[in-house]
Amino acid sequence: MTCKIAINGFFGKMGQSIFDESNNSSHIVKVGCDIEKKINNSKFNEIVLTSDLEKTQELFDVVIDFSIPSSSINIVKLCSKLKKAITIGTTGFSAEDLKEINLASKSIPILLAPNMSYGVNVCLDSLSTLSKKLKNYEVFINETHHKNKIDSPSGTAIKMAEIICEARDIKLGDIKSDNCPIKIESHRIDSEIGTHEIIFKNNSNEIKLTHTAFSRSIFSQGALDTAIWITKQRPGLYQFKDFMEDQS
């Protein structure tokens, strides 16, 4: 059975990367959703462009969302109404946003991942082990992204900090507070796709774990693969880790 995909945030950097990646694979993108202004100034013969996914509901089975939190929440509510699965790569959600996502997951399968890279998610698994073994080490996270990235720190950096704290059985708290147990530094430059460096340090030595993305295709492939996978799951809220474990 062929799975038909809609991309929300189609004209964003990730939306375009996912569409380009789909052309090099068996994944089929049928719908591109974005704001009316961007749609009116563009033309794609291969797919249907819309600012209202509900009008094209017969054309897709699953949504890949890389947009902004407000748009993402609207699409989550729509998917819940239409009983469509969704995989979300958008970051920067508030606590209220996450409540909405959790509520929707009672009726549809949702995969929520701040990072769709296989490599990054392997790093996340490694972080848990390192954090337990190096419990008395201070931890610093440095993350660098392109200058147009809105959220800071990145969703991936926050996820890393959460995993470290969970492994050490401590609370992360306010990530921007001086009292936060994990120190995060964010940098925004012209051309960087994404680099995350985690440093475990004490008085005698330090250990660094670094992931550098050279191309957005690593995130796009993960988004496409999880979109197909999530359509086969029962209603619930899933992580990229759930997808990876199911593949092993």
Query: Which residues form the catalytic set?
Result: 145, 149
User: Which residues does 74 contact at the CB level (< 8 Å), separation at least 6?
Assistant: none
User: Which residues does 34 contact at the CB level (< 8 Å), separation at least 6?
Assistant: 8, 9, 10, 11, 12, 15, 49, 51
Which two three-digit tokens encode residue 245? 């474990």
Q: CA-to-CA distance for 176 and 95, rounded, in angstroms?
A: 16
User: Which residues does 214 contact at the CB level (< 8 Å), separation at least 6?
Assistant: 193
State the Cα angle at 54 between 52 and 58, rounded to 5°. Answer: 125
For residues 109 and 231, is the Cβ–Cβ distance under 8 A? yes
